[in-house]
Structure 1
Amino acid sequence: MAGQVPERAQVVIIGGGIVGASVAFHLTELGWTDVVLLERHTLTSGATWHAAGLVGRLRATHNMTRLAAYSADLYERLEHEMGHPTGFKKVGSVSLADNPGRMEELVRGAGMASCFDVEVEVVGVDELVERWPLLNPEGLVGGVWIPGDGQASPVDTTMALAAAAKERGARIIEGVTVERIRTVDGRAVGVDTDQGPVDAEYVVTCAGMWSHE
């Protein structure tokens, strides 16, 4: 995915991990085609390839639960509808409670998840052991079982998002280091790279732990 750096773009995305690829995917899904993603090495070469790839739908807040459920559905859609493999497998998950307070939190989260059509079951200790025979039940008071949870390949998912974004017009350029974000009156107007400047209406930083550089 190497290529020449353009002189300008509507949107410049810095970083080719799963976050940067996701931003490119969703912008192009909204019809933004003048999108350029710049990655200093190769896609997924940063923190993304270290990730475990766990895909859980239950979170502590409404918005995070909505986002997590959407992500799981998206990974399936990328593979089954768009033909880009993500390695997503629904294997289900259990969350455990070893005290009443934690159990109350899980039950509250389960109720919230059901509002977003996330299938979730509150289960007792016996069923937890049935679901996961290697589990030591000592001290547990219960938990929840979410059959739609699973695991995806972080690398494959990033590549799938990037490929779908490219199909809709995004440009993904590897081997380009962004050296500086240019600003005017406190607003980003482009980036300087080791291959020349790029003017942009919007700059999105998705460089993670390398952003300070």
Structure 2
Amino acid sequence: MANSLHPLFQALASAPNQRQLRLRFMDGVGEHFHIQRWGIYLFNQQLSCTSIDIHGVPNADTFVELYQNVGRAVDPVLRYVTEHHAPAHEEMVLPPGGWKQCELYQNCCVYYDHEHIMTGPIVGRGNLRGAVYFARVSETPAFNYHDVTNLSAVCTHLSACLAGLEKQQPSFLVSSPLTVREMQIAELVAKGLTNAEIGVNLWIQENSVKQALKRMFRKLEVANRAEMVAKLRDILS
């Protein structure tokens, strides 16, 4: 751990809504765990993902699709987290040398240079409400018990903050499946910016904005920008 986790805990505790909670986690957690890639997934009661945010993974949409279709069902670390509601890394749940022989590594993680992974639970009302995913690449060291202890503390705070937001805003968790980046695009759409102007604001290509909007329309089951803004009105306000 690079430094105290307390500033991160305070940032999470002061988040006014779930989107800000996710954003503050994504912005603040990387420096504490010497990780190159990380993400946060939130689930519904059927354990289907309602929102996904990922940092550092190239072609993140392709990775998410591969993990959802191929990796998640054979993820031994997530299986442990789901069963025990406790964080774990690959060396805790697999025999020595088992990581690079398992289906998750061979069919998914190897393509993204995920040499070590660690996952932690977000819980509420006795159920798994989400998961935090960490990955280290190339020659970086494996996660250890200090990392697991620190992740447990982060997940405790995330779970408590999420529960508090649910109590204040009970409808919020069913509101938006969009990522933090997609919500940034939605906010700029709501302000009337064109795709080109959004691209300039977010330092991305205009075509990337266009493709993101197509994904956002599918997620929200809307046909155009006006319908999207109307559906997200309570979140964007």
TM over 0.5: no
Structure with bigger gyration radius: 1
More strand by percentage: 1
User: Which has more helix, going by share of residues?
Assistant: 2
Give the TM-score, by structure 2 length.
0.24
